[in-house]
Structure 1
């Protein structure tokens, strides 16, 4: 008995610790569900930051181009003003008082006076425009500089959110591979044919979405080889002739006046999860088509198997 105890003691790890038991499949799935919920929100923050950056960059580009155009215009006006000054200094002005008064023809003199007055007015206008453009130049430069600063700030925000997404994806992939549930997907999948009851633009929406079935979920994905949830809904409704914003939050806000009851869903309606981290498309017959999460593919599943609490739906 004593010998058995000694042998047992020798077989224990040197630090006396017992190895942690491996998580059960149920525990792993529960952890994965929490990760997916968290990833939904982080990916949407990443998408929102990306869209803000794109808009800020576009604003900067427009302002900067306007500034450059104005620089060129001011340079041209400056050259014109300098030319007028040089002509006046060199006495090259054919309508100067000396030239005008030496004219023996009174009629010609009156004509010269009118011409001088006209040229003086034109010069005054050139000088006024030059002054105005020159004043605006600095303001435009400062505005463009401010837009660039905002774009740079948002770019940093995008990078920060992207780093968080990448960390979450690592955790998700690790768990999925342990569960043997990781799906690579096929970026070139031709999907399946939609044969449901939808009509009109909703039929176009669902035909497009069903054609994406089998393609991998990809955070920030807007196709054609991979999709995230709101990227898929945006592209699908674009095929139906409706322009949706990019992110889940924006789509929900956009549809504020288009809300429909979850008890009155029609094919093509967008269904949002609680917390607005995920969106899917109602396909009819109690089914949805969506891009679920990392390690999965665009798929058609029963709404009852959605796995997320719902907050509402909109009809674009």
Structure 2
């Protein structure tokens, strides 16, 4: 067993977009598991947009990463030591090990991974992102056959799950993505009926015009991952009694506007509030960690579809923990193609 591990710690709190100097690569002793704990050598770790919020010292639904602390995140790998009868060396497990090559967690906080599927699926299509898309769509979006769904960041692990589940339930699905390649991916790999490149439109008004053509019957469900210009384009096209599951607002993560300080531009909240009223819309935020009692139901429904190829997925894998910061910064700028993962072993 290795004596040392590598990890990425938070060196400074970002001002705007994260930069290299906000992260630090460190070498530390490999931790030893206590009673009831398990030591895992992480093979793959997940990068997700929510991690940007953990870098800020702002009040939120979870505590921020402390300065000098290991960046938060999930990983999957091999058990190399166990003080719990539920795990033995050689088992594959998922846990919140952070940005690190090794990690110790209580056995009750780990999920043993089944054989037959790549362990990377536990980080994306069958992990927190896929579950987020499934839960938000089914429980808040409440899709009905014949309706129209729009989802931004549509080729990511959340958006692609939303689109495929909605399509299977008989909805018209419209993807919004960044770049022509991602739009092709949305229609050709993930089966969306139409896809729009938000980067091809200078403002919300021009994007809205194109969106109205792609969704001629209006929009019944908008799965909100992005905010910003995309949300401004979508809102006037929402049908009466439409539903908006609010999953993320990545367009504002680097601006400071979501941390309590004023963002640039006019106050559009009154327009949103009035539209919510007169169109009888439901807009509901959710944090998926509050709903893991439904995770087994999600796995039972979706895992066989992934195994059979009926649910497609795409992974963007960077190599080496030292490249995690660059991959994460690229994720926030939309440079990834699919679920962003870092291969560690």
Q: TM-score, normalised by structure 2?
A: 0.22
More strand by share: 2
TM-score, with normalisation over the residues of structure 1? 0.23
Q: Which of these two proteins has the greater Rg computed from alpha carbons?
A: 1
